[in-house]
């Protein structure tokens, strides 16, 4: 289950990155958007992200193993989960779980998001709108900028909290929460909460700050209710 959770977390990170790349092409290279930003490419990109996340998290399946063991609390032999020897291996525990994870899950997506959104915001504010539509386009820019910044800030805060959890485990040389110091419990709790909030808050931000998204959502909701 933890491997599936890690796959989902990694996938959510790179789906957000993929969406930002698509948004970057649409804003900064509008003439190429029609050929690049298509449904078929979106499906292929999503499938590629899923495959990459599954392959990247394959070692997670070997962290633990199942075995039959006597459980005194229940006074019977039961199927229990044991920690494999690989979990204590330096290359897995330190190199893979900490260094590579920090680079793949935090550094790469974080840097890409900051660069792409900085370029997009600068591009929008450099574009000179027509005099007749200046006021309307100005307000659209402000809404778009606010929505982009809100999504990216929430996302980066979530990544930072999860990154802190990995660093705390490495500093304490711990594999499980029980082996870590007391502060690990607080850091781990904040990390888990931030991941859950980040997975659900983007929809709220889009509805609250994106007028077009909100309009489409209301229209689709009403059409479903009428059926």
The token duo for 210 is 């994106």
The token duo for 10 is 């990694």
Q: Cα(86)–Cα(64) distance, rounded to whole angstroms?
A: 9
73-99 pLDDT, tens digit per residue, is: 777 787 777 777 777 788 887 788 888
Nearest to 98 by CA among 185, 181, 175, 158: 175
163-213 pLDDT, tens digit per residue, is: 777 776 666 555 554 556 666 667 777 777 777 777 677 667 766 766 666
Terminal-residue alpha carbon distance, the chain: 37
Nearest to 170 by CA among 161, 157, 179: 179
Pseudo-torsion of CA 178, 183, 189, 194, nearest 10°? Answer: -140
Tell me what pLDDT residue 130 has: 47
Tell me what pLDDT residue 212 has: 67
Q: Cα(120)–Cα(139) distance, rounded to whole angstroms?
A: 16
Mean per-residue pLDDT of the chain: 75
CB 194 within 8 A of CB 162: yes
Nearest to 33 by CA among 149, 133, 120: 120
11-61 pLDDT, tens digit per residue, is: 888 988 888 888 888 878 888 877 888 888 889 999 999 999 999 999 888
Cα–Cα distances (Å) from 141 to 145, 195, 217, in that order, read 6, 29, 21
Confidence of residue 132 (pLDDT cuts 50, 70, 90): very low
């Amino acid at each position: 289950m933890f491997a599936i959770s890690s796959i989902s977390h990694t996938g959510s990170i790179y789906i957000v990155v993929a969406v930002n790349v698509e948004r970057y092409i649409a804003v900064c290279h509008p003439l190429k958007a029609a050929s690049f930003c298509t449904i078929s490419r979106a499906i292929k990109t999503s499938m590629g992200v899923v495959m990459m996340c599954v392959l990247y998290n394959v070692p997670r399946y070997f962290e633990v193993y199942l075995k039959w063991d006597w459980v005194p609390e229940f006074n019977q032999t039961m199927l229990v989960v044991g920690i494999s020897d690989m979990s204590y291996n330096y290359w897995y525990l330190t190199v893979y779980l900490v260094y590579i994870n920090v680079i793949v899950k935090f550094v790469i997506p974080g840097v890409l998001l900051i660069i792409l959104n900085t370029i997009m915001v600068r591009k929008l504010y450099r574009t000179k709108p027509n005099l007749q539509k200046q006021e309307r386009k100005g307000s659209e820019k402000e809404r778009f900028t606010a929505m982009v910044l809100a999504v990216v800030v929430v996302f980066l805060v979530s990544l930072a909290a999860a990154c802190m959890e990995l660093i705390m485990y490495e500093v304490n040389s711990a594999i499980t929460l029980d082996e870590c110091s007391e502060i690990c419990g607080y850091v781990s709790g904040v990390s888990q909460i931030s991941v859950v909030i980040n997975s659900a808050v983007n929809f709220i931000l889009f509805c609250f700050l994106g007028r077009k998204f909100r309009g489409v959502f209301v229209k689709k909701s009403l059409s479903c209710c009428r059926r």
